[in-house]
Amino acid sequence: MMSELISGLYYEGEKIADTKAPLDVPIEKCWETRKFTAKLVNPANRRKLKIIVVGTGLAGGAAAASLGEMGYHVDVFFYQDSARRAHSIAAQGGINAAKDYRNDNDSVYRLFYDTVKGGDYRARETNVYRLAEVSANIIDQCVAQGVPFAREYGGLLDNRSFGGVQVSRTFYARGQTGQQLLIGAYQALERQVKAGTVIEHSRHEMVELILKNGHAKGIVARDMTTGKLEAHTAHCVILCTGGYGNVFFLSTNAMGCNATAAWRAYRKGAYFANPCYTQIHPTCIPQHGDQQSKLTLMSESLRNDGRIWVPKKAEDCDKDPRDIPEEDRDYYLERIYPSFGNLVPRDIASRQAKNMCDEGRGVGPALAEVGPDGQERMVRRGVYLDFADAIERMGKDAVSAKYGNLFEMYERITDDDPYEVPMRIYPASHYTMGGLWVDYDLESTIPGLYVGGEANFSDHGANRLGASALMQGLSDGYFVLPNTVNDYLADKLAEPLLDGDDPDVQAALAEAQERIDRFMSIGGSRSVDSFHKELGRIMWDYCGMYRTHDGLLEAIEKIRALRKEFWQNVRVPGESVGQMNQSLERAGRVADFLELGELMCIDALHRNESCGGHFRGESQTEEGEALRHDDKYLYVAAWEYKGEDQPPVLHKEDLIYNNIELKQRSYK
């Protein structure tokens, strides 16, 4: 039963619910109960089953390694030349776990509470509690693999704090935590490759999902070195393909990060949840010009010891920061949020940095931008992150031991020495909390299609706390998926794999080839990157840190016009087969971003409240903070694809809080 067309943009359909989580037991018993009630596959039968995993970041690499170790046959696909080049390697600051090594009253419940509150009460309780529950196991697993976490003088694992919490629970390996964790997962994966349970397909990009009777039964992948399309079938498919932050063009993501695998699944029937929930990271190196292709993250861990400030007077913004006396500096986060100071959550720190720059107190070079009134203006987009106090308190050597590689990276990019001059930082697109809708088992609305890590929506609500992405990726890969896919696979033992001549396999191959042929036949005059860059500007201006009703309507109109021009005037040079063609790769990704960008704006428009990273100008407190409306929007927005140029259908999953009291967030 569907509603009338709403706002000319979407329909509302029937509500949905997660039916896998056992809600008749206390939340601390939920995961153990689910594992017990799930059907099992005995070890001798696992070798009869095949699983496809797409992506080899922390979620995908851990899942492929774990499932291979359990005895399943696993085919793993990734577009990089090596599994260890997945974008998880770029994570810097740390990974959360409720071990309470600092004896500061941490617990599983506190990690659960902090994560739900940090997400502005828009996450599912059961999934978040499980994440907190298995967090300690992740650290034990990684230590056993040899991950070189930082240690205190006595040899115990060290911890530091991240935003949105008042305890120290973040384990870290200097500023290279993602790299070290990924190497651990990669070693486990390669062990299974050697054992013969896992087969790697490098330089392969998923371009279509194969369905049989509504179930996921394989993928179509394009060999990026030859252009050949290949069909691969399995008993189930797991997508661990990361987020869609590159819809903004400029982001901290690797330039190859894309949403194509998830979007192909969405077009085949998987619901897409909360697409408007995107995270803008507050500590990134500011944009320096209009020819830039990506932005660089500076770890949130720097906010442990660095102090963020801007000049109190706009006329001081041109001065050398070392010449601005203490009394003329505005440590605005410490002033506005005295309880948390510089360690407020990312969405709050980002918005306040924007506010300072909008007031004319930003620092660094002024760049041209178009304001809400359509007029071009020059604005300084930067604030200072200053370590002078930390160096004086701890000494330069101690600061270098904690952050040295980050300081070195900053100096290489900017030619400024952060030991001598404050860093300049500004928010940038970094992470996406939205993703494919999944239930407690991480199964999508397509039976047999599971989704792990950043590619799903499940754990972070409207804002992710720092150091929780690595926690979720490894939780899903090492501990959740290996204990849930068995429930689906237990009934597939007698089911043969689809062969290449199956009509559904051939149909998926034909769809993928038809799309490629369409790209190659347009022969327009504009490059793929020019369309991506224009889309990114629209998304940043209208669906970034600050969103309004009128702005989102304008964005939808602009995106539709841009997508129409894309399909009429994009230029994809070269050949589609017989050679590597990066323009063709990017064309497919940008075409999907153009559709996803519109859905993000529709989702943001329908949610007339501010929560976490989704800030609506019409919904804020007198002090300019996010104002939620729990009476209207306490749900997950899961969107269903209904066809080319057809309005999507909104399905609501009500969020029920039995273990945490709903309240407006306050970090003051």
Is 47 tagged catalytic? no
Give residue for tokens 């008749």. 24
Give the H or E element holding residue 560: helix 549-569
Residue ranges of the chain with per-residue pLDDT less than 70:
372
Would you state the pLDDT for residue 372?
Answer: 67
The Cβ-side half-sphere exposure at 244, using a 13 Å CA radius, reads 34
Instruction: Tokens for 427, please give them.
Output: 């928010």
Q: Is residue 461 within 8 Å of 449, Cβ to Cβ?
A: no
Q: Residue 286 to residues 38, 137, 240, 320, 366: CA-CA distances in angstroms? A: 48, 37, 29, 17, 11
User: Can you say how many angstroms the Cα of residue 25 is from the centroid of all Cα atoms in its chain?
Assistant: 31
Contact 325, 656 (CB under 8 A): no
- Cα angle for residues 189, 195, 196 (degrees, 5° grid): 95
Distance of CA 395 to the CA centre of its chain: 35
Could you give the maximum distance between any two Cα atoms of the chain, in Å?
A: 76
Q: Which residues are registered as beta bridge partners of 211?
A: 216
Tell me what pLDDT residue 260 has: 98
Residues 6 or more apart whose CB falls under 8 angstroms from that of 24 comprise none
Which residue reads 């902090």 in tokens? 114
Place of tokens 């911890």: 159
Q: Where are the domains of the chain?
A: 281-429, 503-630
Q: What are the CA-CA distances from residue 287 to residues 283, 307, 323, 359, 492 (Å)?
A: 12, 21, 24, 19, 51
Topology (CATH level 3) of domain 281-429: Flavocytochrome C3; Chain A, domain 1 (3.90.700)
CA–CA separation, 464 and 433 (whole Å): 7
Q: Yes or no: say if 442 and 456 are a contact pair by the CB < 8 Å rule.
A: yes
In the set 34, 85, 222, 346, the catalytic residue is: 346
**Residue 104 carries which DSSP code?**
S
pLDDT tens digit sequence for 163-195: 999 999 999 998 899 999 999 999 999 999 999
Which pLDDT belongs to residue 105?
Answer: 95
CA 6/CA 12 separation, integer angstroms: 8
Closest alpha carbon to 560 in 650, 644, 649: 644
Report pLDDT for 464.
Answer: 95
Taken as a whole, the chain contains a residue count of 668
The pair of structure tokens assigned to 343 is 């360690």
Ramachandran category for residue 290: left, alpha or beta (phi over 0 → left; psi -120 to 50 → alpha): alpha
Q: What is the DSSP letter of 501?
A: T
What pLDDT shows up at residue 219? 98
The domain 503-630 is classified under which CATH number: 1.20.58.100, 1.20.1050.10, 3.40.605.10, 3.60.15.10? Answer: 1.20.58.100
* CA distance linking residue 566 with residue 330, whole number of Å: 45
Question: Where are the extended beta strands (E) located within 537-614?
Answer: 570-571
What pLDDT, on a 0 to 100 scale, did the predictor assign at position 14?
A: 97
CA distance 664 to 662: 7
Say if CB 461 and CB 472 are below 8 A apart: no
Task: Please check whether residue 558 is in contact with residue 594, taking contact to mean a CB–CB distance below 8 angstroms.
Answer: no
User: Are the CB atoms for 436 and 55 separated by under 8 Å?
Assistant: no
Question: 58-70 and 177-195 are packed helices; what angle lies between their axes, rounded to 10 degrees?
Answer: 30
Residue 640's identity, in one-letter code, is E
